[in-house]
Protein backbone atom coordinates (compact mmCIF):
# COMPACT_ATOMS: atom_id res chain seq x y z
CA UNK A 1 0.00 0.00 0.00
CA UNK A 2 1.46 3.36 -1.01
CA UNK A 3 1.62 6.13 1.57
CA UNK A 4 0.24 9.62 0.93
CA UNK A 5 3.71 11.08 0.30
CA UNK A 6 4.48 8.37 -2.26
CA UNK A 7 1.15 9.00 -4.01
CA UNK A 8 1.85 12.72 -4.15
CA UNK A 9 5.29 11.99 -5.58
CA UNK A 10 3.90 9.67 -8.24
CA UNK A 11 1.20 12.18 -9.20
CA UNK A 12 3.75 15.01 -9.48
CA UNK A 13 6.00 12.80 -11.63
CA UNK A 14 3.08 11.94 -13.92
CA UNK A 15 2.08 15.61 -14.29
CA UNK A 16 5.66 16.67 -15.09
CA UNK A 17 6.03 13.75 -17.51
CA UNK A 18 2.83 14.68 -19.34
CA UNK A 19 3.88 18.34 -19.50
CA UNK A 20 7.27 17.45 -20.98
CA UNK A 21 5.68 14.99 -23.43
CA UNK A 22 3.08 17.52 -24.59
CA UNK A 23 5.77 20.18 -25.09
CA UNK A 24 7.88 17.80 -27.16
CA UNK A 25 4.90 16.69 -29.26
CA UNK A 26 3.86 20.29 -29.81
CA UNK A 27 7.32 21.14 -31.11
CA UNK A 28 7.35 18.09 -33.38
CA UNK A 29 3.93 18.82 -34.86
CA UNK A 30 4.16 20.60 -38.18
CA UNK A 31 2.68 24.09 -38.01
CA UNK A 32 -0.18 24.63 -40.44
CA UNK A 33 -1.14 28.14 -41.51
CA UNK A 34 -2.68 28.02 -44.97
CA UNK A 35 -4.95 30.42 -46.85
CA UNK A 36 -7.15 29.32 -49.75
CA UNK A 37 -9.08 31.56 -52.10
CA UNK A 38 -12.11 30.87 -54.26
CA UNK A 39 -13.52 30.65 -56.90
CA UNK A 40 -11.38 27.70 -57.89
CA UNK A 41 -10.68 28.05 -61.60
CA UNK A 42 -9.00 24.64 -61.88
CA UNK A 43 -12.43 23.01 -62.04
CA UNK A 44 -13.07 22.51 -65.75
CA UNK A 45 -15.92 20.08 -66.19
CA UNK A 46 -18.41 21.43 -63.69
CA UNK A 47 -21.92 22.23 -64.90
CA UNK A 48 -22.26 25.86 -63.86
CA UNK A 49 -26.00 25.79 -64.56
CA UNK A 50 -26.56 23.22 -61.81
CA UNK A 51 -24.13 24.23 -59.09
CA UNK A 52 -24.35 21.76 -56.24
CA UNK A 53 -26.29 19.12 -58.18
CA UNK A 54 -23.33 17.17 -59.55
CA UNK A 55 -20.02 15.91 -58.26
CA UNK A 56 -17.09 18.24 -58.86
CA UNK A 57 -14.33 17.21 -61.22
CA UNK A 58 -10.97 18.92 -61.35
CA UNK A 59 -8.28 18.58 -63.98
CA UNK A 60 -6.71 15.89 -61.77
CA UNK A 61 -10.03 14.38 -60.66
CA UNK A 62 -9.64 15.77 -57.13
CA UNK A 63 -6.19 14.30 -56.59
CA UNK A 64 -3.90 16.46 -54.46
CA UNK A 65 -2.98 19.43 -56.61
CA UNK A 66 -1.41 22.55 -55.14
CA UNK A 67 -3.18 24.58 -57.80
CA UNK A 68 -6.61 23.49 -56.63
CA UNK A 69 -8.10 25.21 -53.59
CA UNK A 70 -10.94 22.72 -53.56
CA UNK A 71 -8.62 19.71 -53.54
CA UNK A 72 -6.51 21.25 -50.73
CA UNK A 73 -9.60 21.97 -48.65
CA UNK A 74 -10.97 18.46 -49.15
CA UNK A 75 -7.58 16.97 -48.24
CA UNK A 76 -7.67 18.71 -44.85
CA UNK A 77 -11.14 17.32 -44.18
CA UNK A 78 -9.95 13.89 -45.35
CA UNK A 79 -7.10 14.00 -42.79
CA UNK A 80 -9.57 13.48 -39.92
CA UNK A 81 -8.77 10.47 -37.74
CA UNK A 82 -11.09 10.89 -34.74
CA UNK A 83 -13.65 13.65 -35.12
CA UNK A 84 -15.11 16.45 -37.23
CA UNK A 85 -17.20 19.27 -35.76
CA UNK A 86 -19.03 21.44 -38.30
CA UNK A 87 -20.75 24.75 -37.64
CA UNK A 88 -22.24 25.96 -40.92
CA UNK A 89 -24.82 28.44 -42.06
CA UNK A 90 -25.67 26.39 -45.16
CA UNK A 91 -24.56 23.01 -46.48
CA UNK A 92 -25.60 22.04 -50.03
CA UNK A 93 -22.37 20.89 -51.71
CA UNK A 94 -22.44 17.14 -52.37
CA UNK A 95 -18.66 16.88 -52.72
CA UNK A 96 -18.19 18.06 -49.12
CA UNK A 97 -20.97 15.76 -47.96
CA UNK A 98 -19.24 12.82 -49.64
CA UNK A 99 -15.94 13.59 -47.86
CA UNK A 100 -17.65 13.95 -44.49
CA UNK A 101 -19.51 10.66 -44.90
CA UNK A 102 -16.31 8.88 -45.91
CA UNK A 103 -14.71 10.10 -42.69
CA UNK A 104 -17.76 8.89 -40.79
CA UNK A 105 -17.45 5.43 -42.39
CA UNK A 106 -13.85 5.27 -41.15
CA UNK A 107 -15.12 5.72 -37.61
CA UNK A 108 -14.83 9.47 -37.10
CA UNK A 109 -17.41 11.05 -34.82
CA UNK A 110 -19.11 13.86 -36.76
CA UNK A 111 -21.30 16.61 -35.32
CA UNK A 112 -23.05 19.28 -37.39
CA UNK A 113 -24.70 22.51 -36.29
CA UNK A 114 -26.70 24.02 -39.16
CA UNK A 115 -28.59 27.30 -39.28
CA UNK A 116 -32.25 26.39 -38.98
CA UNK A 117 -33.40 28.77 -41.74
CA UNK A 118 -31.44 26.76 -44.32
CA UNK A 119 -32.73 23.34 -43.32
CA UNK A 120 -34.96 22.05 -46.09
CA UNK A 121 -33.53 24.34 -48.76
CA UNK A 122 -32.89 22.83 -52.19
CA UNK A 123 -29.79 20.66 -52.06
CA UNK A 124 -29.50 20.74 -48.25
CA UNK A 125 -27.34 17.81 -47.13
CA UNK A 126 -29.00 17.43 -43.73
CA UNK A 127 -30.83 14.20 -44.58
CA UNK A 128 -27.70 12.63 -46.07
CA UNK A 129 -25.77 13.55 -42.95
CA UNK A 130 -28.32 12.06 -40.59
CA UNK A 131 -28.67 8.89 -42.64
CA UNK A 132 -24.86 8.56 -42.58
CA UNK A 133 -24.70 8.65 -38.78
CA UNK A 134 -23.83 12.31 -38.30
CA UNK A 135 -25.20 14.00 -35.17
CA UNK A 136 -27.10 17.10 -36.30
CA UNK A 137 -28.51 20.07 -34.43
CA UNK A 138 -30.37 23.14 -35.62
CA UNK A 139 -32.66 25.42 -33.72
CA UNK A 140 -34.85 28.39 -34.52
CA UNK A 141 -33.46 31.67 -33.24
CA UNK A 142 -34.12 35.35 -33.94
CA UNK A 143 -30.91 35.83 -35.93
CA UNK A 144 -28.70 33.74 -38.20
CA UNK A 145 -26.16 31.20 -37.03
CA UNK A 146 -23.66 32.71 -39.47
CA UNK A 147 -20.53 30.67 -38.65
CA UNK A 148 -18.70 28.70 -41.33
CA UNK A 149 -16.10 26.64 -39.51
CA UNK A 150 -14.92 23.06 -39.24
CA UNK A 151 -12.72 21.53 -36.52
CA UNK A 152 -10.79 18.37 -37.42
CA UNK A 153 -9.65 16.10 -34.57
CA UNK A 154 -10.01 19.04 -32.15
CA UNK A 155 -6.70 20.48 -33.37
CA UNK A 156 -7.16 21.78 -36.93
CA UNK A 157 -9.41 24.72 -37.80
CA UNK A 158 -10.97 25.43 -41.20
CA UNK A 159 -12.64 28.84 -41.11
CA UNK A 160 -13.55 31.75 -43.38
CA UNK A 161 -16.25 33.41 -45.44
CA UNK A 162 -16.79 30.17 -47.34
CA UNK A 163 -20.24 28.53 -47.20
CA UNK A 164 -20.24 24.83 -48.10
CA UNK A 165 -21.99 25.36 -51.43
CA UNK A 166 -21.16 24.95 -55.08
CA UNK A 167 -21.58 28.69 -55.57
CA UNK A 168 -18.82 29.36 -53.05
CA UNK A 169 -16.48 27.02 -54.91
CA UNK A 170 -17.30 28.13 -58.44
CA UNK A 171 -18.55 31.70 -58.30
CA UNK A 172 -18.05 33.76 -55.16
CA UNK A 173 -14.88 35.48 -54.00
CA UNK A 174 -14.25 33.57 -50.79
CA UNK A 175 -11.45 32.88 -48.32
CA UNK A 176 -10.60 29.94 -46.09
CA UNK A 177 -7.94 30.01 -43.37
CA UNK A 178 -6.60 26.67 -42.13
CA UNK A 179 -4.59 26.59 -38.91
CA UNK A 180 -3.53 24.26 -36.11
CA UNK A 181 -2.51 27.10 -33.80
CA UNK A 182 -3.50 25.76 -30.38
CA UNK A 183 -4.81 29.05 -28.95
CA UNK A 184 -6.91 29.81 -32.01
CA UNK A 185 -8.32 26.30 -32.36
CA UNK A 186 -9.23 26.09 -28.66
CA UNK A 187 -11.38 29.23 -28.97
CA UNK A 188 -13.40 27.63 -31.76
CA UNK A 189 -13.68 24.35 -29.83
CA UNK A 190 -15.21 26.29 -26.93
CA UNK A 191 -17.60 28.13 -29.25
CA UNK A 192 -18.71 24.88 -30.85
CA UNK A 193 -19.33 23.20 -27.49
CA UNK A 194 -21.29 26.23 -26.30
CA UNK A 195 -23.55 26.18 -29.37
CA UNK A 196 -23.89 22.39 -29.29
CA UNK A 197 -25.16 22.59 -25.71
CA UNK A 198 -27.36 25.60 -26.45
CA UNK A 199 -29.13 23.83 -29.31
CA UNK A 200 -29.65 20.54 -27.52
CA UNK A 201 -33.08 19.01 -28.33
The catalytic site residues sit at: 146, 148, 153
**What span, in angstroms and rounded, lies between the C-alpha atoms of 54 and 92?**
11
For β-strands 148-152 and 156-160, DSSP reports them as: antiparallel
* Three-state SS at 135: strand
Q: Are 125 and 97 in contact (CB under 8 A)?
A: yes
CB within 8 Å of 65: residues ≥ 6 apart: 42, 58, 59, 71, 72
Beta-carbon-side half-sphere exposure of residue 86 (alpha carbons within 13 Å): 32
Q: Are 77 and 101 in contact (CB under 8 A)?
A: no
Burial category of 131 from C-beta neighbours within 10 Å (exposed 0-12, middle 13-18, buried 19 and up): exposed
Beta-carbon-side half-sphere exposure of residue 198 (alpha carbons within 13 Å): 14
Amino acid sequence: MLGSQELVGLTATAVVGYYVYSRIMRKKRKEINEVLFFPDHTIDTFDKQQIGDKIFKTITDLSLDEESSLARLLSHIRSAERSIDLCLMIFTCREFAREILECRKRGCKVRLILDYSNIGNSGCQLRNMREGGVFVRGKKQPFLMHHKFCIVDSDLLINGSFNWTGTAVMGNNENVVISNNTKVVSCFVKEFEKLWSKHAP
